Chains A and B, each alone.
Chain A
């Protein structure tokens, strides 16, 4: 399986049944020999997939907000708006003003500026915090202070090392040492930092060819195509797959890149309630029966667009039910696995493996390499026919530049490790560690009495704090206690549901998680986060147990 034009000559054989080949152009490739290690058997080309769907018990919780909290949250917002209005009346804002453009129509709309200046500004220091180290299990933050209530910031020159619960590093591949870093460095020496050409022109190099083959093998489908940006993969490929006369059923909580891609495509979009299969079926039925609006012609095709793990909710899509609906109503399915590829499933193959479904049943599998592979970029995988079509018609393939070689090499190396092709158990170990960390952390938080959303297996843990001011308070307090978390509020989430989002990683050790949980326990008291009104579990939480022992 040499890439076109690459000649392979075996020059040395390493240990563990892994051989490193050097070809005439100095290109290095790790050949995938099967290792004598029963579990790490990787040879999925053309092998039959287990199509028996596991009946997996979905344990998800989205507890309702207590009434008192809801009222206080709204009151809090009104108070902020009122104070902001007073502030605007009495003081001049310390913002840049437009020069030399008198008589021009104003560029920004007034409510937007008001919200930004008087509500968001108060907690602005919780976002865009600069880091100065690798975003691994621990991260070093650059301290900054504001002397004018959030209008401007200054660096103090000091740095704080914090436990990193904010970066997307699910399998811990954000590393500065080790095989990934070494091979990426070598890729720079072999191919430079960038190709400076769109994919269809001169953007293909052997790394990209191998990476596409490996991605297809990883996912268990026929073919895959990779792009340089995850956001761009959605925004630039959906328009080539859809057009006017097509119907898209999109989940309520879909990501901005999906929404942009769907808008650009010109298809009709209908939104269904988040993860609600009854609502989806109702909308599907009504759509097929009614046809296109006004003309009543039948739809050309219907595409259901969902995500694997929703990053703001922590919920996992109900894949078996959607597949059933899809078969019944002859629709197509697009799954965006940005957060679950590498993080779900026994071997990290994503939500399809998690539910034991057949990857051939999902028409379009999309994902990004930013989260679990410690790199950048995105892919689309599926049947060869689909990928051939995209190679010719995708906006990104035709106009956007090809993926950078070191970035591609990082993905290749990390994917090989996850698949066990490096001859070690490292990949499985990381996947296992992430699963243990996720269950343990979630159970412990539930025991504390805080409200967390999402599936028990999702490494994204949103902790609800509801009030806008609490988001700021929690993030700042945790930073002082050397834990870095992410706060999310309106408009990324509903007005009422401010939350702290924690992203777990295989790089976190149990000790680090225990220390973090102790801190959470303390601030749950001081900041009043125990909103849960359900009965708190009393059995001790064990680390390393994935399913409850009967």
Chain B
């Protein structure tokens, strides 16, 4: 069989084609056997627990004891005994029935308690009910949402705006919509927690630069440029982002926007600015940090903002060119998978925007109050002011030279308690130390609103000084 089968009686061509050499047949049989073995053999799966007996398995299961779901907590923790606000959070606020000047909640333009806004919110309830009963894609888009988006885009002089139903989610969803695992993000160390969660969700490579230090940022950018030179193919698909805040909530400093724009142009980054605090507070017409530094809006790729501070309502928005912002309508998780903002809060934001557009004296009033407050705070002995003079958010830390009668970690809390008892509401902001990337220093955070009179500012500083004196050892 292995030898030639056909005899020499056939033509030479056929003879040549019909030759079936031995090795060929053996090879084919071997391949056929391989195929049969591959189909029928038992695959080796390292996950199978087949090698342990039933009793052994049961013993392992019985042995295993999980940790408690949650650990015990200190029952005296401040969060378990919160202060209860028994009035509207406007210029004066009642904390545990104690009427205080409100320097603690973020009501920079005094929109909380504004009667026009409240009336329009109440009218909206009578037209649309309270909840919107659906996400934006499924009959949750109410015409007031579209109105607000148009107004915001017009106010900020950009092409399009997207409105979210919660300030925290706005920022935490906007960043991962653009930045993915293979990208690199340059971000300031002192960014707020919402941005940090957005960075975690994006899973990109993070490069933190020192707070407001453009030299440090430039050195990081140069390092990245070196890496890019070594691997140009990878560099072509790595997107680069720069994320900063207009005014940093954790420090009250303003970002050096013009220098950042220069770097952006030089190293081809995309810059996202979180203007939660600077929207409605910086600039002659309240349009934020771009107006303050006179930077053209097109130089910034996207502005993200929470409406929960200056606008006095709930929610957030992102504004920018249509090319950028439109993408979030399908990729922003907090936009697509969450119910839309209740209409009454949307209308409250709309009306607040109307007031901002018509009456620009509110911004100059706020600027004056910020400057007055800043100069008054600098006179307090025992506390150092660590913010920009135009920022409505001021941080006060203990002076290094002064010595106090109680441990330093407790001084600021005691000052805050004393002030509240004496009619000035200031608080120490809470942070989750174990989760923050760079825990901010403990401070007293004071917020300024635009209706403070100079007597009230003086009174506030007097009370703060008294509190410090009571705790300082002389």
Contacts and interface: CB of A to CB of B under 8 A. Distances in A.
A3 B96 CA distance: 10
B138 to A, nearest CB: 5
Interface of A: 3-6, 25, 27, 95-101, 103-105, 107-108, 116, 127-136, 139, 141-142, 164, 166-169, 173-177, 180-181, 184-185, 188-206, 209, 228-232, 235-236, 239-241, 255-257, 260, 263-264, 285-286, 288-290, 298-302, 329-332, 363-364, 368-371, 373-376, 385-386, 388-393, 395-401, 404, 406-407, 410, 484, 486
A299 to B, nearest CB: 7
B47 interface: yes
B467 interface: no
Interface stretch (B4-12, B19-27, B36-44, B330-338): B330-338
Interface in B346-380: 348
Given A6-B86, A104-B268, A131-B139, A376 B69 contact: no
B312 interface: yes
Given A181-B125, A191-B88, A174 B167 contact: no
A141 B138 CA distance: 12
B327 interface: yes
A289 B57 contact: yes
Nearest to B324: A107
B256 interface: no
Contacts of A192: 88-90, 112-113, 118, 312
Given A196-B106, A289-B61, A4 B69 contact: no
B76 to A, nearest CB: 11
A100 B321 CA distance: 11
Given A185-B126, A260-B201, A407-B345, 18 more contacts: A96-B321, A99-B323, A131-B141, A188-B344, A193-B345, A196-B308, A196-B312, A201-B104, A229-B338, A231-B339, A232-B168, A290-B49, A390-B70, A399-B432, A401-B308, A404-B313, A404-B345, A407-B342
Nearest to B130: A410
B130 A105 contact: no
A285 B270 CA distance: 48
Nearest to A369: B131
Contacts of B133: 135, 167-169, 174, 370-371, 374
B474 interface: no
Contacts of B118: 188-189, 192-193
A301 B67 CA distance: 6
A200 B430 contact: yes
A25 B86 contact: yes
Contacts of A385: 70, 72-73
A78 B136 CA distance: 29
Given A202-B93, A241-B70, A374-B131, A167 B121 contact: no
A390 B66 CA distance: 20
A167 B138 contact: yes
Contacts, number: 364
A205 B84 contact: yes
A355 to B, nearest CB: 22
B16 interface: no
Contacts of A190: 88
B318 to A, nearest CB: 14
Q: Which of B80, B125, B159, B337 is most buried by chain A, counting CB atoms within 10 A of its CB?
A: B125
A541 to B, nearest CB: 27
A399 B193 contact: yes
B219 interface: no
Interface residues of B, number: 120
**Most chain B CB atoms below 10 A, which of A260, A301, A399:** A399
Interface stretch (B208-216, B237-245, B282-290, B386-394): B237-245
A393 B70 CA distance: 10
Contacts of A3: 84
B430 A398 contact: yes
Nearest to A392: B79
Contact of B80 (A180, A388, A486): A388
Contact of A406 (B143, B333, B344): B344
Interface in B216-241: 235-240
A170 B239 CA distance: 44
Interface of B: 47, 49, 52, 57, 60-61, 64-73, 75, 77-80, 82-90, 93-97, 104-107, 112-113, 117-118, 121-122, 125-134, 136-143, 145-146, 159, 165-169, 172, 178, 192-194, 197, 200-201, 235-240, 268, 270, 298, 306, 308-309, 312-314, 321-324, 326-327, 329-330, 333-334, 336-339, 341-342, 344-345, 348, 425, 427, 429-432, 435
A25 B333 contact: no
B232 to A, nearest CB: 12
Contacts of A167: 133-134, 138-140
Which of B106, B128, B138 is the most central at the interface, judged by chain A CB atoms within 10 Å of its CB? Answer: B138
Given A129-B139, A197-B105, A264-B201, A134 B430 contact: no
A232 B168 CA distance: 8
Given A107-B239, A133-B127, A196-B107, A389 B70 contact: yes
Contacts of A202: 83, 85, 89, 93, 95, 104-105, 425, 427
A59 B166 CA distance: 38
Given A135-B134, A166-B138, A196-B107, A4 B334 contact: no
B89 A376 contact: no
A297 to B, nearest CB: 11
A542 B133 CA distance: 29
B72 A395 contact: no
Nearest to B118: A188
Contacts of A133: 127-128
A260 B333 contact: yes
A462 to B, nearest CB: 13
A9 to B, nearest CB: 14
B197 to A, nearest CB: 7
A256 B337 contact: yes
A302 B326 CA distance: 39
B287 to A, nearest CB: 20
B338 A105 contact: no
A450 to B, nearest CB: 20
B69 A105 contact: no
Contacts of A289: 49, 52, 57, 60-61
A267 to B, nearest CB: 13
10 contacts: A98-B324, A135-B132, A191-B87, A191-B88, A193-B118, A229-B165, A231-B338, A232-B169, A399-B432, A404-B345
A300 B85 contact: no
B58 to A, nearest CB: 10
Contacts of B146: 130
Contacts of B201: 260, 263-264
Contacts of B306: 401
Given A184-B130, A289-B57, A200 B82 contact: yes
A418 B387 CA distance: 50
A228 B85 contact: no
A93 B201 CA distance: 31
A98 B194 contact: no
A301 B70 CA distance: 10
Contacts of B334: 229, 231-232
A396 B348 contact: no
The 5 A-B residue pairs whose C-beta atoms are closest, nearest first, are: A231-B338, A229-B166, A389-B70, A96-B322, A400-B168
Contacts of A260: 201, 333
Contacts of A398: 79, 193, 430-432
Nearest to A112: B331
Nearest to A120: B330
Contact of A332 (B69, B131, B238, B431): B69
Nearest to A374: B131
A241 to B, nearest CB: 7
A200 B132 CA distance: 27
Contacts of B52: 289
Contacts of B67: 300-301
Given A132-B142, A193-B313, A228-B166, A288 B64 contact: yes
